[in-house]
Amino acid sequence: MGPLGNRGRRGHTRPRPNGPQKGPLLPARMGPQGPRKRDGVSFAVRPLFVAVIAAMAALLIVISCIAGCEVSRVGGQEGEGGEAAIPDPGQSPAEEPTVPDHATGAVTALRQVKTLRVEAGPKSVELMPDGERIFVNDLYAHKNFIFDAGTYEVLKVIPLPDEPVECDFSPDGRYAWVSLYNSSKVVVVDTAAGSVAGEVPTGSIPKEIAVSPDGKWVYVANWQSNTVTVIDAAARSRVKDLSMYGTPRGMVFSPDGTKAYICVMGGNTLAEVDVAAGHAVARQIPCGENPRHAVLSPDGGTIYVSNNLPGTVTYVDRVAGAPTATVKVGNKARTIAVTPDGAYLFVCNYDDDTVGCVDIAARRQIFTVPASKPIGMAVDARGERLFVSNYAPPQVSVYEIVR
């Protein structure tokens, strides 16, 4: 209900008798036939007449104020000219505008605000499901680092038996599935305890990992075996290996978890896997040469694919299974990340030592910023910061996304 405008006090003027007065009002003189009259009104009756008129005027003012307050209460807003608007009885009440839970507006720059130090060659960085912690796979240090996303404090350093490459999480964030480069297995890291809670064998040189939205399945892309291992997450057991015609790398599930899409980096397609049909490859979707990484648009309708050798990003209509656009970015386009509003995409241009920003609607890279050997990245839950893992020096660079 909109506030009423400021109302000034209404001035009250004292009634004045007809004609000019040069002094106090005196009693009327009495003649033989009673009080004298002027203009047909007796001097004795005139004060009573004036009092009645004043009382009626005051009553009208009070009634007007009450009526105005009632209209204001019912109407809720003022129309033009300060009049309170009375709603149409058949009109639905106006809904409160929806406030997005993420940043919006034109992205104009990236401003580095923090550097998180690790030990040796951080291969990837992820924002954990709660949005409050940053998870780093420090490849050559054989460790996972967990940082507080607000204070940047190191919360945990978790030693591992081999080189961690990539990871994904159980929906509640309690467990991280981490691929180990040389060990042909993934480990299950308990992020609360800060220790390894289990392991599952895979193919040779496991890299990318994707957990289904319901947390039931874990897919692992095996670089050297040209296979994808399917793991039952609850049982922590290997269910089957899917053969790929070339080296698999990036992976993403559909929002409902019924389909998975695998970058065949040794080829030029996304392999679409029907999860419900026994994890069978259903079709190959063209997406550009040497596809490395894939992410979904926030609405789940588009898959964005980075193509490493040509340095491009391809837009793929997920349902139609067809590419719709290709954007030239930098040399060796590697990890990509999309802002929560679905308007911008960031890309690691590895050989250029830059991070690029793509305006998705305009279909072009609009600017780049220097970044030493950018290899992994993640956008925070509100789309206000970008985290980039740098191979050398070994660090995670934190950027403010300037709008």
pLDDT, tens digit (0-9, with 9 covering 90-100), for 165-211: 999 999 999 999 999 999 999 999 999 999 999 999 999 999 999 99
Report the share of the chain in percent with pLDDT over 70: 76
pLDDT for 31: 39
pLDDT at 12: 37
Same domain as 331, residue 213: yes
32 is a domain residue: no
Dist CA 67 CA 71 (whole Å): 6
CA dist., res. 160 & res. 169, Å (int)? 17
Residues 49 and 121 both lie in one domain: no
Quick one: average pLDDT of 246-268?
98
- Asked whether residue 178 falls in the same domain as residue 256, the answer is yes
277 domain-assigned = yes
Summarised one tens digit per residue, pLDDT across range 276-326 is: 999 999 999 999 999 999 999 999 999 999 999 999 999 999 999 999 999
Alpha-carbon distances, residue 395 vs 252, 282, 350, 398 (angstroms): 26, 40, 15, 10
Nearest by Cα to 394 from 112, 207, 114, 115: 115
Q: Which of 53, 76, 99 is the last residue of a domain?
A: 76
- Whether 265 and 396 share a structural domain: yes
User: In this structure, are 240 and 322 located in the same domain?
Assistant: yes
**Confidence class for position 100, pLDDT limits 50, 70, 90:** confident
Q: Are 73 and 60 in contact (CB under 8 A)?
A: no
Question: Do residues 294 and 319 lie in contact, with contact meaning Cβ atoms separated by under 8 Å?
Answer: no
Predicted pLDDT of residue 25: 37
Residue 373 lies in a domain: yes
CATH classification at residue 295: 2.130.10.10
Confidence of residue 56 (pLDDT cuts 50, 70, 90): low
Say if residues 167 and 126 touch (Cβ distance below 8 Å): yes
Per the structure, the count of domains in the chain is: 2
Which is more confidently placed, 1 or 123?
123
Quote the percentage of the chain above a pLDDT of 90: 75
Angle at the Cα of 348 (from 347 to 352), degrees rounded to 5? Answer: 120
User: Which of these ranges, 36-45, 207-216, 392-401, has the smallest mean pLDDT?
Assistant: 36-45
DSSP reduced 3-state for 294? strand
Same domain, 65 and 155: no
Q: Quick: pLDDT tens for 8-26.
A: 333 333 333 344 343 433 3
Residues 52 and 184 in one domain: no
Using the structure block, give the residue that is written with the tokens 């998870």: 135
Give pLDDT, residue 76.
Answer: 39
Query: Does any domain span residue 193?
Result: yes
Q: How far is CA 13 from CA 57, 58, 62, 232, in A?
A: 11, 11, 16, 89
The 10 Å Cβ neighbour count of residue 373 is: 16
157/214 same-domain check: yes
Domain limits for position 50? 39-76
Domain termination site, one of 76, 98, 126: 76
Residues 63 and 164 in one domain: no
Q: Are residues 154 and 251 in the same domain?
A: yes
**Whole-Å CA distances, 238 to 170, 199, 242:** 17, 10, 12
> What is the predicted pLDDT for the residue at 99?
72
Regarding whether 212 and 67 lie in a shared domain, the answer is no
Does some domain include residue 99? no
pLDDT tens figures, 76-94: 343 334 444 455 555 555 6
Half-sphere exposure of 284 (CA within 13 A, CB side): 12
Average pLDDT, the chain: 85
Q: Is residue 4 assigned to a domain?
A: no
Predicted pLDDT at 323: 98
Residue 385 CB partners (closer than 8 Å, separation 6+)? 113, 379, 398, 399, 400, 401
Residue 54 DSSP label: H
Its pTM stands at 0.77
CA atoms within 13 A on the CB side of 395: 13
Report if residue 268 sits inside a domain. yes
Name the domain boundary from 19, 54, 76. 76
Residues 360 and 295 occupy one common structural domain:
yes
How high is the pLDDT of residue 40? Answer: 41
Largest Cα span, the chain: 133
For residue 17, tell me if it sits in a domain: no
In DSSP notation, 189-236 reads: EETTTTEEEEEEE-SSSEEEEEE-TTS-EEEEEETTTTEEEEEETTTT
Q: Give mean pLDDT, residues 238-244.
A: 98
Pairing status of strand 385-390 against strand 84-85: unpaired
Residue 262, amino acid: I
